[in-house]
Amino acid sequence: KEQLRRNEHHEADVVVVGAGILGCAVAVALGNQDRSVILLERSLKEPDRIVGELLQPGGVQALEKLGLRDCLEEIDAVKVFGYDVIYYGEEVAIPYPEDIRGGEASDEMRGTKRKRPEGRSFHHGRFIQRLREKAMAHPNVTVIEATATEMVTSGYTGQVLGVEANVQGKPDSFFGHLTIIADGYASKFRKEYRTDTPVAKSKFWGLELIDAPLPMPNHGHVILGDGAPVLLYQIGTHETRALVDIPENTTSASVANGGVKGHIRNVVIPSLPPAVRPCFEAAIEKDRLRSMPNSFLPPKTNITPGLAILGDALNMRHPLTGGGMTVAFNDVVLLSDLLDPAVVPSLASTGLVLKQLKRLHWQRKSLSSVINILAQALYSLFAANDTQLKALQQGCFEYFKLGGNCVDGPVGLLAGIIRNPFVLIYHFFS
């Protein structure tokens, strides 16, 4: 009956716009609660992006809670055990901490007493396709390739009733008690419900290295030198993602200095570990340079009846720390708990749903605020371009070299497994 309602009448309990990281996960999570869900996606082809490729242990844990952990299988995902920070050629290893205070241990994370939590890195598109397969296979979810064009809103109450969309070039409409907007960093609907816009002061330029001999396999590498930070991490057995941060108005990346390729050759490559340089040079010649804006957008409370804006459409932070997907999956865990049928029997109870969305705004802060602040603060430090910040940058590296709690605390926060803002404050003032 519900499937007929979705397919024939385009009506459901929930309409989700965007079958990306959050959209797929929330569709499955609400479907598991016996909610009827329509999931709309502009293109169901495998996406090809240079970010959204590293999932922190706290994200793996959330994925497991959602019953989606097997989406990490069969995509040549690589285990991630922590970070290797290289400061002007000097290395310090920062493994994920053994003590996982601040988060529940999954069966996999418990392991032996000394087993450390693990993250995963992978090709973004492969992971997305696995999530979409899960959504498509769910009996309570109908996935439709459609481009949402505008909201359907009650002229009397202002409540969002659904969306209008183009399906195979023809106009159509989809209706639900709750419409979830999860259309990513370039959301077309965000501006209708908030006046501020994302702030981007730099871009990540991405390359794919082949068979790169990384200094510390199964670790994310953060390379600090004269320029902004460079990230290296495996995304497959043979592939390594390189992300070069270039702030706006960088002189060494000007047209007169050879543009982005000139910056990479003259500033970035000399700062890399010698063993990696040949792979980097080969990638510049063979691979196409692609960029993504590094955006910051603080979250806002969802206050429009019948509407929830989530994921990157709601909240973004610099991707330096790889926290975006971890925040998204944990938001889905929280939202599904808050909208549990035992608490909200019917999503048609718009007032109750709005009340729960306000609770989501505050409950998510124990994790999201920590990751947001850490991402922005570390980027400001690692991209230091004056003597005072450079001194702080060196001090941060020396702090990491102390080891013990000086690395366990910060990386536990970054990994999404310590969810306590006071731990962040402690390390900021240490």
DSSP-derived letter for residue 134 is: H
Burial class (CB in 10 A: 0-12, 13-18, 19+), 155: exposed
Average pLDDT score, the chain: 93
Nearest to 22 by CA among 265, 388, 360: 360
**pLDDT value of residue 147:** 97
Model confidence at 226, pLDDT cuts 50, 70, 90, reads: confident
Stretch 261-280: mean pLDDT: 94
- Kindly report, residue by residue over 169-184, the tens digit of the pLDDT: 999 999 999 999 999 9
Stretch 368-372: mean pLDDT: 95
3-state secondary structure of 121: strand
- Kindly report, residue by residue over 284-327, the tens digit of the pLDDT: 998 789 999 999 999 999 999 999 999 999 999 999 999 999 99
Name residue 78's amino acid: V
User: Within a 13 Å sphere around the CA of 176, how many CA atoms are in the beta-carbon half?
Assistant: 30
Supply the pTM of this predicted model: 0.93
- Kindly report, residue by residue over 46-98, the tens digit of the pLDDT: 999 998 999 999 999 999 999 999 999 999 999 999 999 999 999 999 999 98
Beta strands at 11-17 and 170-181: parallel, antiparallel or unpaired: parallel
